[in-house]
Amino acid sequence: MTGKIGERKKSRGFLLFILMIALGVVAFAVVLTYTKKFVYGTGIVSKKYGDALKIAMQFFDVQKSGKLENNKIIWRGDSALNDGNEEGVDLSKGMYDAGDHMKFGFPMAFTATVLSWAILEYGDQMEVVDQLQPAKESLKWITDYLVNAHPTSNELYIQVGDPVKDHKCWDRPEDMTEKRPIKKVNPSAPGSDVAAETAAAMASASLVFKSSNLKYSKLLLSHAEDLFSFANENRGSYSESIPEVEDYYNSTGFGDELLWAASWLYYASKDRKYLEFVTGEDGEKFANWETPTWFSWDDKLPGTHVLLSRLSFFGPEVVAETENMDMYRKSAEAVMCSLLPDSSSATSSRTKGGLIWVSKWHSLQQPVASAFLAVLFSDYMISSDTSKLECNSDSFLPSDLRMFAMSQADYVLGDNPMKMSYLVGYGNKYPQYVHHRGASIPANVKTGCKDGYKWLESKEPNPNVATGALVGGPSKADNYIDSRNNSMQGEPSTYNTAVLVGLLSGLVSVSSVPKSFK
Q: How far apart are CA 424 and CA 421, in angstroms?
A: 7
CA–CA distance from 304 to each of 114, 160, 258, 309, 441 (Å)? 12, 28, 10, 8, 40
| Amino acid identity for residue 82 in this structure | N
For residue 197, the SS3 value is helix
Nearest to 261 by CA among 284, 241, 282: 282
Q: Which residues contact 277 (CB under 8 A, 6 or more apart)?
A: 258, 259, 262, 283
CA–CA distance from 163 to each of 97, 157, 174 (Å)? 12, 15, 17
CA-only gyration radius of the chain, Å: 24
Nearest to 298 by CA among 242, 220, 237, 356: 237
Q: Which residues contact 358 (CB under 8 A, 6 or more apart)?
A: 294, 349, 365, 366, 367
Q: How far apart are CA 292 and CA 80, in angstroms?
A: 40
The residue ranges of DSSP E strands in 54-148, in sequence order, are 103-104
Q: Are 291 and 333 in contact (CB under 8 A)?
A: no
Residue 435 annotated in active site? yes
For residue 167, the SS3 value is coil
- Among residues 150, 362, 435, 436, the one annotated as catalytic is 435
| Amino acid identity for residue 188 in this structure | S
Phi, psi angles (nearest 5°) of residue 156: -140, 120
Describe the crossing of helices 132-148 and 214-233 by its angle, rounded to 10 degrees. 50
How far is C-alpha 386 from the geometric centre of its chain's CA atoms?
26
114 sits in which H/E element: helix 105-128
Q: Are 121 and 509 in contact (CB under 8 A)?
A: no
Q: How far apart are CA 181 and CA 87, in angstroms?
A: 10
Phi, psi angles (nearest 5°) of residue 354: 100, 5
Strand pairing class (182-185; 389-391): unpaired
Q: How far apart are CA 377 and CA 367, in angstroms?
A: 15
State the catalytic residues: 435
